[in-house]
Amino acid sequence: MKKHFNQFVKGLAVPVLAATLLLACKKDASVQQTAAETNSTTTTTPRVKTAYQLVWQDEFDGTSLNTAKWGYENGNLGVNNEKQYYQTQNVTVSGGNLVITARKQTVSGQPYTSGRINTNNSSNKFSIRYGRIEARMKLPMVQGTWPAFWMLGTNITDPNVGWPKCGEIDIMEQVNTNNNVLGTIHWDNNGYVYYSNSTNTTPGDYHVYAVEWDASAIRWYVDNNLYATANIANNINGTDEFHKNFFILLNLAIGGNLPGNTINDAAFPTSMYVDYVRVYSQTNSTAPVGQTVTLKGINNAFVSSENGTQAMTCTRTTAGDWERFTIVDAGDGKVALQSMGKYVSSENGTQPITCSRTSISDWEKFTLETTADGKWAFKGNNGRYISSENGTQAMTCNRTSISGWEAFTH
């Protein structure tokens, strides 16, 4: 749901893990394509092992909106030349669904009413950075309608930020009677820019619309079929907005820049149905199982297994065999690190870590987390993080949070 949207980009997809640039087009400029076009409707097998944990959900099983999870955005918001006035009574919960209904009804000069809700206005504000955000939805398929499932940066209300500097992730948008659904991001890169792609489905039926978002990319799915990927690694093209917290919105707009202002009044009232919204955090966001990597600490030195003969260090200026680690699937979304045939052990945080274990038990299992700047951190089964100790002493696994010493370039 664009704040200000003048131009829609079709057919651009950024391949997963590719280093190609995102499309960057100015608000009123012609489109310039800088990434390869691909068939965007095929089912793909993920190249990385990703594990998720459910952290927030609304199954809409009650009889009214749960205001601990959602808040209303009412009124004429004055965006996109839309024709609706948002009000509370257009948002209901029944039959296991959130139902947002648009009506031909004039309020405060707007010829239609509808509903819009978000998780930032709730009594328990909810936002997230990275994860899988999904909803199962059925759309109205009426000329003039513009349903959306989307996200905004929580800093949008900061007078020094606003839109588009806060960033916007449109998980799903659809207009009119089109079978085409859109996935888009908007941001600021010395001016307004966006990347957008689309795929065909049957929006009048229930489908699961989702993004999977990590420090490297945002990926769009319909029913788990990947159709678009945006590269945000290392803040490429000014995408630092997408490494901050975002909140969730759902709304049904009428008319405006994207659907136009030809509206089928005879089809009103009309509704958008949402079966559920679920949010998952990543517990193993970008672990390339089977890949051999080096790990470099903030002191610009490499982590060494020390061939398993002593406690591990982060002091090596070059990477040899002792400084190479193979990432092994340890089950339940966790990984193990293997070097020279032995596994890294957290030693349960009671002494410096070693690389001398011949098999994987709990102390050799780690949750891999990705930091905002794309580095890796490893959390042991003791709930503590591995630390390089800045190379001044043997490495440990006893830190309660991630700072510079606990993040590793790979």
pLDDT band for 226, please (50, 70, 90 cuts): very high
Q: Are residues 230 and 147 in the same domain?
A: yes
User: How far is the CA of 176 from the CAs of 97, 125, 220, 269, in angstroms?
Assistant: 22, 32, 21, 14
Q: Are residues 271 and 308 in the same domain?
A: no
Which residues on neighbouring strands pair with residue 221, listed in sequence order? 210, 226
Residue 366 within a domain:
yes
Amino acid 12: pLDDT = 30
Residue 150 within a domain:
yes
Q: Which two tokens stand for residue 85?
A: 């006035």
**8 Å CB contact between 407 and 377:** yes
Q: Last residue of some domain: 247, 282, 317? A: 282
CATH at 310: 2.80.10.50
User: How far is the CA of 98 from the CAs of 201, 308, 341, in angstroms?
Assistant: 21, 56, 53
Beta strands in 286-391 (DSSP E): 292-293, 302-304, 313-316, 325-331, 334-339, 342-345, 354-357, 366-370, 376-380, 385-387
Q: Are residues 307 and 365 in the same domain?
A: yes
**8 Å CB contact between 31 and 25:** yes
The tally of domains found in the chain comes to: 2
Q: Are residues 204 and 106 in the same domain?
A: yes
Q: Last residue of some domain: 244, 262, 282? A: 282
Q: Last residue of some domain: 254, 282, 310? A: 282
Average the pLDDT over each of 4-13, 84-93, 224-233, 239-248 and give the range with the smallest value.
Answer: 4-13
DSSP tag of 314 = E
Give the integer Cα–Cα distance in Å for 334 and 268.
Answer: 50
Residue 37 within a domain:
no
End-to-end Cα, the chain, rounded Å:
36
Give the integer Cα–Cα distance in Å for 86 and 182.
Answer: 23
Q: Are residues 304 and 351 in the same domain?
A: yes
CATH at 182: 2.60.120.200
- Give the range of the structural domain holding residue 271, as residue numbers without chain letter: 52-282
Question: What value does the mean pLDDT take over residues 343-362?
Answer: 97
Per residue in 182-193, pLDDT (tens digit) is: 999 999 999 999
Does residue 348 sit in helix, strand or coil? helix
Q: Are residues 275 and 339 in the same domain?
A: no
Backbone angles phi, psi at 225, to 5 degrees: -95, 115
Q: Are residues 333 and 254 in the same domain?
A: no
Q: Are residues 141 and 248 in the same domain?
A: yes
Residue 42 within a domain:
no
Higher per-residue pLDDT: 255 or 284: 255
Amino acid 44: pLDDT = 32
Catalytic site residues? 168, 173
Question: What value does the mean pLDDT take over residues 223-245?
Answer: 93
Residue 35 within a domain:
no
Q: Give the predicted TM-score (pTM) of the model.
A: 0.65
Q: Are residues 96 and 223 in the same domain?
A: yes
Please give the share of the chain, as a percent, with pLDDT higher than 90: 74
